Structure 1
């Protein structure tokens, strides 16, 4: 292969320990050599479009770097995708082969093992039927949006767009310049891929890449908090990226006396709304939390609170590559953007309409208040963004998951998952009443539907980032929601008028 062309590879200039994994340390030179060998082997077999369904680890990074160097296409699939979702993704993307862990079931439609590409890693390659799928010119990554159905939507992104966003994130964190980042989200998540891997490589910092099991993930949505804390202490990161659920787990553990590593200097939070109550609790613990905002069609992050330019309640100011405006209450973004969608659908010309409601204050800080399509109107004509109410509910230590609804109703209902299975219904109602005390009357929750099990991605009730699939949850619990309105309200009045 010719000289290195990818900026990601060009930055690998000999650091003694660039990547840390449970198996040990790997240097720049070792990563560079392995990625170049992988790129050569792929080129020899005429392969330039590869799907992967892999755990976090060095093998994921090597494959991705090889494809970036080759100018190929990576189709990373979440580990929790069902067999039907995998089959759809493989067919719709036109991937020539798929890489999985050794021992994993062969994906539906695969035609047998493909040799000569494993480089000693504990992965297996399976060939796929030839599929004439045309991708937009310049596609380097096909990432799947969460969507609201069981069939995720493939978004095509160019390498230079991904690197533009990663470079902007490096600039945004320059006041701190973290020297070690710990990847705590699946690498198939675009946010961790761009802001975790790419931004860290471009900033010449170290990357800690434990497996998802070592981080503490169990199944599709469970989290072992002691394992997460142990992972933080083992790798002593200066930066991490958390979704709100992970931030809440860390905050609750610290409030109960668990020690957090003193190395933490930059905790970026995204992938969902962070309630002001949770941010306040994090601030009380002196946690360096910075909330951001992004979307897949813009190659991830477009706004970020930064050291010296942070405002609680906002998602920060626009990064240099993005231009944000608000039209009729909806946030629109111009700048870095996707090439299009699988199936030939193009991104519309002009700014991308996000579907998110919000405003930009006089100092340029962006405030996101909810999703336009999720806003419901009560029987009294009051508009309610359920994300706002849910974020307050989830800040309560007894509540793990929540979806709020009240369209055309006199009061609101919440489908709830308690944090502990032994929490009885009366205690659950008291917890909701405590949250209600801080809400205006039209936003309070008066009725509860208790979910028998946590919402999970495998059941189609959560997205890849852990956000609730609202329509799916409300449909799943429709009978219980309807029944709740045939009985008196189940949450005691707070006695507070807000």
Structure 2
């Protein structure tokens, strides 16, 4: 199949805006619990009416501080309740939210603030507020602060709210009345794997076209009694942002977990019915469980339980589950699966995954233990998902069917094109980049290579710019084999190389959390640098390479690899905040390692 269209399930009217949903919720069901926010170690309920009051109070403060309709207001913070509060307050004041990752460098912060023309910035902490003040270099931009002792108490979020106490009650309502579906809602600067970030301009209509149709498509997840989710992915990324809005729109109780160190405790207390994560999170949960089982002398039991879960999920697809498989599955549910589900709070039946490929193996494993992972696909430019797996009929290894209202087309060269109400209208102050990505008739070039099956399920096989062409002329999509190799518990990251080379090679980093218990159990020093030449470790990595090579042809298989001593991280610049490899940066930093792979 070359093209698939799914009719829209919901339509956006010209006068619609994102603020409509919080007004509607407050008036139709004012006492319903909309949020649970953390305060001094407790979860505090926030009703729909209470949230609207908080939004209005903060929006009044923004208006009183001088914010005009169309002004850009930056939001520099981790994922937390105040992020969502500020987002809706900025919109209610008629302004445009410009999210910035709290992990961004000073140079990146400066670029985003200056390119967007932000007139104000809400920073989470004193340190981030100071960074903003430093990079602004005297530019006229108000800085407000969410937490901590502000150097100027008049700059606190409380002080901002207090500014608006003298404004008329209908001030915010008038600002909301001026919003339209075509009004810009946000400028999201793509983290990008290369080059300077581009500001992706998304309107209220883009978000509404996405949110209303996705929540309809995933009604089994969003529209069920007691639905709740805990956000821990960065809200500066469009993926988490859309889930935030989907929860508010659909009436799902929303919580926030700002610190990854307390995530497991937060999940246990909050008990979400579904979770949102990127594949690396699912890999870490799986590998962590396997590591604990090994340490307890139960590695073989876990391995058999994992194989049973995968077989059980595959049997669901085949339409017949043998009685012996059912029996084994019940045994391992008691011994293993329930404990794994408990680490995610115990009530989650579904998860939504995006950002990078999940892989068939992990998809089957999680469905086999009772957590169906619905993999989707999209970009910032498409306001997150343009395809997602339906809860009633997911296909592992695919990224699902088009979101209602969307058309997916496979171009002659294999590139995935998309058109629909959630596809953006262009980049901020960058007509050249817009013309390159977006055709005049609305077709967006995703830059990804994929295929559509006979039922319209999309499979992504690689990134167009990442396709490796070996010296022998073989085209290699790195994602397939990288996913399989990275499944090994000791491996953190993999980058396949081989452009214009005689064969395919790979650079590999080690997972420090997994390496330490593995090394100590064998009487070795748990240091990546010290173990690079260790025979046992090399044998483990060789087995991972061999497993990865099973997924590809001989010409695409990894013939040589090299372990590098330091892992690649977001903080050090080799990964984007959504955990994608910045291949050009890694290749530059490890040019000598790549040369060594080929004996040079």
**TM-score normalised by the chain length of structure 2:** 0.72
1:184 aligns with 2:232: yes
Out of 89, 94, 97, the residue aligned to residue 112 of structure 2 is: 89
Structure with higher RCO (Cα < 8 A, 6+ apart): 2
C-alpha distance in structure 2 between counterparts of 1:22 and 1:429, whole Å: 45
Q: Indicate yes or no: 2:541 matched with 1:445.
A: no
Structure 2 partner of 1:129: none
Give runs of aligned pairs for residues 252-401 of structure 1, distance below 5 A: 252-255=287-290, 256=293, 258-260=339-341, 261-328=345-412, 329-335=414-420, 336-345=422-431, 346=434, 347-350=438-441, 351-401=443-493
Structure with the largest fraction of strand:
1
Larger Rg: 2
| Alpha-carbon distance in 2 for matches of 1:394, 1:42 | 46
1:122, CA displacement in angstroms? Answer: 11
CA contact (8 A) 1:41 1:116 kept: no
Q: Which runs of 5+ in 1 are unaligned?
A: 126-135, 217-226, 488-498
Q: Residue 147 of structure 1 corresponds to which residue in structure 2?
A: 192
Distance (whole Å) between structure 2 residues aligned to residue 282 and residue 118 of structure 1: 44
Change in CA separation of 1:110 and 1:140 when aligned onto 2, cut-off 3 Å? farther
Moved more, 22-31 or 386-395: 22-31
Question: Which whole-Å deviations, capped at 9, do the CAs of 1:112-163 have from their partners, x for residues lacking one?
Answer: 756767443999x9xxxxxxxxxx9722100011223352111111012112
Q: Aligned-pair distance for 1:5?
A: 8.0
Higher helix share: 2
* Alignment-derived partner of residue 492 in structure 1: none
Return closer, same or farther for 1:408/1:149 CA change in 2, 3 Å cut-off. closer
Superposition deviation, residue 306 in structure 1: 1.3
Shift of 1:167: 1.0
Task: Classify the secondary structure of the residue corresponding to 1:277.
Answer: helix
1:41 to 48, 51, 61: 61
Task: Name the SS for the 1:278 alignment partner.
Answer: helix
Aligned equivalents of 1:7 and 1:167: distance in 2?
Answer: 13
Distance 1:253-1:113 versus aligned 2 partners, 3 A rule: closer
Distance in 2 (CA, whole Å) between partners of 1:322 and 1:207 is 27
- Counterpart check, 1:156 vs 2:172: no
Q: Say if 2:19 and 2:92, in contact at 8 Å, map to a contact too.
A: yes
Note if contact 1:55-1:186 (Cα within 8 Å) is conserved in structure 2. yes
Q: From the superposition, tell whether residues 121 and 251 of structure 1 become closer, same or farther in structure 2 (CA, over 3 Å).
A: farther
C-alpha spacing 1:106/1:355, structure 2 compared with 1 (3 Å): closer
TM-score (norm 1): 0.87
RMSD between superposed Cα atoms in Å: 2.4
Distance, in Å, in 1 between the alignment partners of 2:18 and 2:547 is 57
Q: Secondary structure at the match of 2:572?
A: coil
Structure 1 pair 137–163 and aligned structure 2 pair: CA distance change class (3 A): closer
CA contact (8 A) 1:139 1:339 kept: no
Runs of 5+ unmatched residues, structure 2:
1-16, 145-152, 164-180, 294-335, 516-525, 533-537
Given that residues 68 and 159 in structure 1 are in contact (C-alpha distance below 8 angstroms), is that contact kept between their aligned partners in structure 2? no
Q: Does 1:209 align with 2:252?
A: no
Note closer, same or farther for the CA distance 1:404–1:244 as it changes in structure 2 (3 Å cut): same
